[in-house]
Structure 1
Amino acid sequence: MRKRSAAAILSSFVLFAGLAAACGSAPASNAGTQKPAAPAGADSKKEVTLKIGAAAVPHAEILNQVKPKLKEQGVNLEVIVFDDEGQLNPALKDKKVDGNYFQHVPYLDSVKKEKGYDFTVTSKVHVEPIGFYSSKLKSKDEIKDGAKIGIPNNPSNEYRALVLLQQQGLIKLKSGLTTYEATPKDIVENPKNLKFVEADSATLPRALPDLDGAIINTNLVLEAKIDPKSALFREDANSPYANVVVVRKGDESRDEVKKLDAALKTPELKKFITDKYGVAVVPAF
């Protein structure tokens, strides 16, 4: 009995040792199902968020059009619409956004001196030809003596409106105006004795019933659901007032900003702008 007990004990020990060996080899047998470790430096880059403040139309719509393309390149484009466009440059200065898209260079030049903005332009995207709109008149020839005309009251757009009226032969500005700034005081000839109402650009569409006509920025026309084709006359395609993407100086070298710049200059985007906006928005690239 003692011999058999010893043999049984020995047999049990051998069996236990075999099971333990089998358990110990399990991780090795499963190694083929595990993903191999990525080599050093092979980790994909994390997605970078780029915040761009913009006017609603067409700026935000254009930016949203390139979001998928940037997403593929690891850039999460966050488009932040500002109802008050006057806050877009302060927001950029205060680093609440990484860039903005709502203004043209003459406007930027007119405010950066006063406000001390250290900004730079990265992309020239589109021109919104300003036009003369009226809910009372059907043609330029119907503009009567003493007509009340609304014009934007910010320096660069006011100059732009007066230049448009000059191109149409309705007024003449004094010579030597080279800073993109002018007011009705700079008019030297006004054969129809036009009366000018200087007002905030955003209020002009709503003021049309009280005016004989007004010169209005196209983005505001689109927001007000006014047909841009209804303009009695408008700027031509050679306007220097292209709308641009602006960033803080030095940020133009950031990789995600360069990717945005490239995405805003593709044939696909040009076609989108032309197809969607027609005469209201003209690609500037």
Structure 2
Amino acid sequence: MFLKKFAPALALTAAAWFAAGAVHAAKLSVAATPVPHAELLERVKPALAKNGVELDIKVFTDYVQPNQQVSDGQIDVNFFQHKPYLDSFNKEHKTRLVSVGLVHVEPFGGYSSKIKDVKDLKQGAQVALPNDPSNGARALLLLQAQGLIKLKDPANILATARDVVENPKKLKFRELEAATLPRVLPDVDLALINTNYALEAGLNPVKDALFIEGADSPYANIVVTTEAKKDDPAVKQLVEALNSPDVRAFINDKYKGAIVPAF
């Protein structure tokens, strides 16, 4: 009798409890480039859901909108870039985005469909570079490491083609949008390509690159958000999930050296 009398009230209380749980479930939107960033996020999505964080992965194919939309508050977090790129973006766009954790390194590589060895690069060869300041400089530093050029400041992570002081092969540099570099590979002699775009194009950096950065590259990919959200519990859970032993094993097994953990 007691249960029958109070059953409606108990049902309403349970419904209210579940509704409150739904209201307070943390939703976190994350902007990411498709490979490997969105793949890594998909890997941690189920575990985060079990811990009360609903991950909304939004895929972008450029390097500007993910930062702009996080800065504007349209998206909570992004995961696609390294710290030198973030610093350059903040300076150029007057934004104040911050890194909240390292995840992996994508060793940058030089690719060619015309030669099999960098020693075969001809005089006056056309070399395609990313046109954003940080990745353009990264490409030049890698060319310098191969002995192809020499920079005025050999350690300048924001060097440009104007800083090349020695160019014995008289290489001609073409600065292009990073996402387009795999597509122009047949039209140039050498292209310096970010690993995420190389992977998307079906290139294996370990097998297909003529030369590649070492695993000690300082360009670790990071999780980025605003100052206001850097201490958000859901953001912290995302970073912890991306730094988990499961993700480390997933990176090593799936990418086989094309990307390497930075945690």
TM-score when scaled to structure 2? 0.91
Q: How do residues 36-115 of structure 1 correspond to structure 2 at under 5 angstroms?
A: 46-115=24-93
Give 2:172's aligned residue.
195
Task: Check conservation: 2:62, 2:179, Cα contact below 8 A.
Answer: no
- Distance (whole Å) between structure 1 residues aligned to residue 186 and residue 53 of structure 2: 45
CA-CA distance at 1:32 after TM superposition = 9.8
The structure with more radius of gyration: 1
Q: How do residues 179-218 of structure 1 correspond to structure 2 at under 5 angstroms?
A: 180-218=157-195
Give 1:9's aligned residue.
none
Alignment length (residue pairs) = 256
Stretches of structure 2 lacking an aligned partner (at least 5 in a row) = none
- Amino acid paired to 1:144: K
Give 1:28's aligned residue.
2
Within the alignment, does 1:253 sit opposite 2:227 as a pair?
no
- Amino acid paired to 1:265: N
CA-CA distance at 1:33 after TM superposition = 8.1
Query: Which stretch has the larger CA shift, 136-145 or 61-70?
Result: 136-145
Task: Check conservation: 2:151, 2:165, Cα contact below 8 A.
Answer: yes
**1:152-194 CA-partner distances (Å, limit 9, x unpaired):** 111000110000011111111012754x211111111111111
CA-CA distance at 1:227 after TM superposition = 2.6
SS in 1 for 2:88: helix
Task: Check conservation: 1:123, 1:264, Cα contact below 8 A.
Answer: no
**1:54-84 CA-partner distances (Å, limit 9, x unpaired):** 1111101101100011001100011100133
Stretches of structure 1 lacking an aligned partner (at least 5 in a row) = 1-26
- Distance (whole Å) between structure 2 residues aligned to residue 222 and residue 176 of structure 1: 29
Task: Check conservation: 1:52, 1:79, Cα contact below 8 A.
Answer: yes
Give 1:273's aligned residue.
251
**1:181-228 CA-partner distances (Å, limit 9, x unpaired):** 111111111111111111111111111111111110010011111232
Task: Check conservation: 2:128, 2:175, Cα contact below 8 A.
Answer: yes
- Distance (whole Å) between structure 1 residues aligned to residue 21 and residue 35 of structure 2: 35
- Distance (whole Å) between structure 2 residues aligned to residue 29 and residue 115 of structure 1: 63
**1:215-267 CA-partner distances (Å, limit 9, x unpaired):** 10010011111232210000001111111010100311111111111111111
Question: 1:269 and 1:176, CA in 2 relative to 1: closer, same or farther beyond 3 A?
Answer: closer
- Distance (whole Å) between structure 1 residues aligned to residue 125 and residue 3 of structure 2: 91
Query: Which stretch has the larger CA shift, 112-121 or 72-81?
Result: 112-121
- Amino acid paired to 1:157: N
- Distance (whole Å) between structure 2 residues aligned to residue 50 and residue 140 of structure 1: 44
Within the alignment, does 1:160 sit opposite 2:138 as a pair?
yes
- Distance (whole Å) between structure 1 residues aligned to residue 2 and residue 37 of structure 2: 58
- Distance (whole Å) between structure 2 residues aligned to residue 239 and residue 257 of structure 1: 25
SS in 1 for 2:252: helix
Within the alignment, does 1:133 sit opposite 2:115 as a pair?
no
Give 1:231's aligned residue.
209
RMSD: 2.1
- Distance (whole Å) between structure 1 residues aligned to residue 54 and residue 28 of structure 2: 6
- Distance (whole Å) between structure 1 residues aligned to residue 98 and residue 5 of structure 2: 55
Within the alignment, does 1:242 sit opposite 2:220 as a pair?
yes
Give 2:196's aligned residue.
219
Query: Which stretch has the larger CA shift, 218-227 or 43-52?
Result: 43-52
- Distance (whole Å) between structure 2 residues aligned to residue 283 and residue 53 of structure 1: 20
Task: Check conservation: 2:124, 2:171, Cα contact below 8 A.
Answer: yes
- Distance (whole Å) between structure 2 residues aligned to residue 214 and residue 29 of structure 1: 74
- Distance (whole Å) between structure 2 residues aligned to residue 235 and residue 29 of structure 1: 70
- Amino acid paired to 1:152: P
